[in-house]
Amino acid sequence: MPYVPHTETDTQDMLAVIGTHSIDDLFREIPANLKVAPGALNLPTALDEHRLMAHLTEIASKNLDCTKLVSFLGAGIYDRYIPATVGAVISRGEFLTAYTPYQPEASQGYLQTIYEFQTMVAELYGMDLANASMYDGATSMAEAAIMATGIKGREKVVVSEAVHPHYRQVLATYCWSIGIEVVTVPAAEGVTTEWNAADSACIIVQYPNFFGCIENLAAARRAADEAGALLIVVADPIACALLRSPGSYGADVVVGEGQPMGIAMGLGGPVVGLFACKKEYVRHIPGRIVGKTKELHGDKIGYVMTLRTREQDIRREKATSNICTNEALMALAATVYMIALGKNGMTQVATSSVRNTQYAISALKGIGVKVKFGGKVFGEFVVSLPKNATQVRDAMIEKGFLAGLPLGTYYDGMDNDLLIAVTEIRSKEQIDAFVSALQEVLA
């Protein structure tokens, strides 16, 4: 990108101010044998901006993405339609930052969008309140588990193996660092039936789960009650536009990944974590909460940060988390998405996903592909193939499809199982072509 380099005079002036004679003096503490001699790297000559852009474009063209492949890959990040309104709003100068707006007098517009985000997330999940967002779904879940251990005064959490494997890895990392035991319970036939949650602070279930199966939240609530534990639900926000909300089942905390709501797929993000809970736990919630208030002497509405219970803002021993500047811009994207579609629009997205999923299941069964788990699914399902799923995935790429996620990487005995996602934007023609290509690969 364009820049203005320091002149030799600028450099000498700065060195004089700090009392050195050369740039090398700044690195004299580093042993000579660890330094690279000038010219030893044998780097190519610099490129001008035009040639550099052409070079990087050539490198990037080697990537395979969803402009070149039809995606049936999900597993937590989904290829959904993003209204043009989303990009138009978040690219405005008033909003284009990831920073939390700490100065209410200068940030009323941004604070209001966060307030609306919290309101809609809480309504979507059927909960009393939501915070201003988290890093992603995985860290939201881990923070919820840590929150539960503090509330219950216990050092054990129970999680279903049908929760996203990456989420469970993040949970294990968080809990390991503070000495909390993580117990993973099996998911027979794709859903969790036995919790064994005695002495646990919480049980964690995904809805729909990693395999796309819809878990029995009523049974999970009963198991939590019997153990005196909190119920934490990791919920897909799009699914919650159609299914009963986790809050209606009595969930104590609901978390999730907000990427399906207006955020593009990207390796490593950015994404946004959702976090909602019952009102009684408001003093334990991580992150920040924006509230609405009135002037002391007047009726003007104002938006302020009502709670900021992080280490940098209050005494460490009273802090609920160490979450820092997070995903305010992505929370704005999700807000614009929810407003643009509205309740009916989001329900239509969810309904179309279910319709397309059922069509794909029927078409795959028609060529002899076995769907591994019975029961109801949302947007995703597992098939058992007669060949190694990774090899099938690679062969399907050659035919123009991201066929799904091979599950053998994460689960023993599932080398031939493939997790397939079907969103609202997959057309009948694309599904038919996918099924036809898979039939050729399996032949």
pLDDT score of 98: 63
Residue 197 lies in a domain: yes
pLDDT score of 314: 59
For residue 128, pLDDT over 80 is answered with yes
pLDDT score of 313: 59
Report how far residue 100's alpha carbon sits from residue 331's, in angstroms, rounded to the nearest whole number: 11
Residue 59 lies in a domain: no
What pairs with residue 204 in β-bridges? 159, 232
Give the dihedral sign, CA 212/216/221/227: negative
What's the CATH number where 259 sits? 3.40.640.10
pLDDT score of 187: 95
CB 287 within 8 A of CB 321: yes
Report how far residue 417's alpha carbon sits from residue 415's, in angstroms, rounded to the nearest whole number: 6
Residue 40 lies in a domain: no
- Do residues 267 and 403 share a domain? no
> What total number of domains does the chain contain?
2
CA 42 to each of CA 32, 36, 49, 54, 398: distance values in angstroms, whole numbers, following the listed order: 19, 11, 21, 22, 37
* Mean pLDDT computed over 253-257: 98
Pairing of strands 380-384, 370-371: antiparallel
Residue 49 lies in a domain: no
- Do residues 399 and 305 share a domain? no
For residue 234, pLDDT over 60 is answered with yes
Residue 26 lies in a domain: no
* Mean pLDDT computed over 162-190: 96
- Do residues 306 and 417 share a domain? no
Measured in residues, the chain has a length of 443
Give the dihedral sign, CA 312/318/322/326: negative
Stretch (H or E) spanning 431: helix 428-442
- Higher local confidence (pLDDT), 424 or 286: 424
Compute the radius of gyration of the chain from its Cα atoms: 25
DSSP code, position 45: P
Q: Which of 174, 170, 172 is nearest to 183 (CA)?
A: 172
DSSP code, position 310: B
SS3 assignment, position 376: coil
pLDDT score of 322: 67
Residue 305 lies in a domain: yes
pLDDT score of 317: 66
Tokens standing for residue 276: 């909602």
Report how far residue 368's alpha carbon sits from residue 83's, in angstroms, rounded to the nearest whole number: 37
Residue 251 lies in a domain: yes
- Do residues 143 and 269 share a domain? yes
Confidence of residue 418 (pLDDT cuts 50, 70, 90): very high
Per-residue pLDDT tens digits for 86-124: 999 999 988 887 676 767 677 888 899 999 999 999 999
What is the amino acid identity at position 29? E
Domain ends where: 337, 355, 380?
Answer: 337
- Do residues 76 and 96 share a domain? no
Question: Which residues are CB-neighbours of 182 under 8 A, at least 6 positions away?
Answer: 156, 157, 159, 168, 171, 172, 175
Domain ends where: 309, 337, 365?
Answer: 337
Report how far residue 296's alpha carbon sits from residue 13's, in angstroms, rounded to the nearest whole number: 52
- Do residues 197 and 333 share a domain? yes
- Do residues 101 and 131 share a domain? yes
- Do residues 374 and 287 share a domain? no
* Mean pLDDT computed over 63-90: 94
Edge-first strand listing for the sheet containing 253-257:
129-130, 273-277, 253-257, 230-235, 202-207, 156-160, 181-185
pLDDT > 90 fraction of the chain, expressed in percent and rounded: 76
Q: Which of 184, 182, 178, 175 is nearest to 156 (CA)?
A: 182
- Do residues 88 and 74 share a domain? no
Edge-first strand listing for the sheet containing 405-406:
370-371, 380-384, 417-421, 405-406
Stretch (H or E) spanning 371: strand 370-371
- Do residues 406 and 359 share a domain? yes
CA 253 to each of CA 153, 275, 308: distance values in angstroms, whole numbers, following the listed order: 17, 7, 19
SS3 assignment, position 146: helix
- Do residues 355 and 325 share a domain? no
Per-residue pLDDT tens digits for 269-298: 899 999 999 999 999 998 889 999 888 888
**Structural domain boundaries, residue 302:** 84-337
Report how far residue 367's alpha carbon sits from residue 66's, in angstroms, rounded to the nearest whole number: 26
pTM of the predicted protein model: 0.88
What's the CATH number where 438 sits? 3.90.1150.10
Give strand ranges (E) for 70-114.
Answer: 70-71
- Do residues 378 and 231 share a domain? no
Residue 431 lies in a domain: yes
pLDDT score of 297: 83
pLDDT > 70 fraction of the chain, expressed in percent and rounded: 94
Domain ends where: 337, 353, 376?
Answer: 337
CB 166 within 8 A of CB 212: no
